[in-house]
Amino acid sequence: MNKNDNFEFKIDRIRSPYSKPEMVESLKLYAETHEIETFGMREYDAWENRLATSETIRLHFKGWGKALQEAGFRASRSNNLDLKEMIKAFKNCWRENQSGAFTKAT
């Protein structure tokens, strides 16, 4: 048996001196400091007091939107829109407001 038989190479490990909870706290502090509910990667990167770059945070959480959600914020935009969920949300809104895309104006 070769001594390297038990070696496991992990290529997808993200190295950072910061933990996920520390990154979440940094996102919360940014939002609190700027009194905003959501923000993008560019805005966060422009902040001189950031803990890590937005790219580092994005890699740790496997998405910027996921990092924002973990910190309690909504993602400002997403490329992973679920069309069925959007239509369902619109229909519910129309029902609640008794209006819709296909109702006749009186």
* pLDDT bucket at 101, cuts 50 / 70 / 90: low
* Residue 32 belongs to a domain: yes
Is residue 83 included in any domain, yes or no? no
In whole angstroms, how large is the CA radius of gyration of the chain? 21
Does residue 89 belong to any structural domain of this protein?
no
Q: How many domains does the chain have?
A: 1
Tell me, yes or no, whether 10 lies in a domain: no
| 2 within some domain | no
Rounded Cα distance, 75 and 77, in Å: 5
35: left (phi over 0), alpha (psi -120 to 50) or beta: left
CA-CA distances (angstroms) from residue 35 to 27, 98, 102?
12, 34, 39
Q: pLDDT, tens digit, for every residue of 59-92? A: 999 999 999 999 999 876 655 567 787 788 788 8
Q: Is residue 60 part of a domain?
A: yes
Residue 39 lies in a domain: yes
Range of the domain at 50: 20-70
| Greatest C-alpha distance within the chain | 83
pTM of the model: 0.60
Per-residue pLDDT tens for 25-72?
999 999 999 999 889 999 999 999 999 999 999 999 999 999 999 999
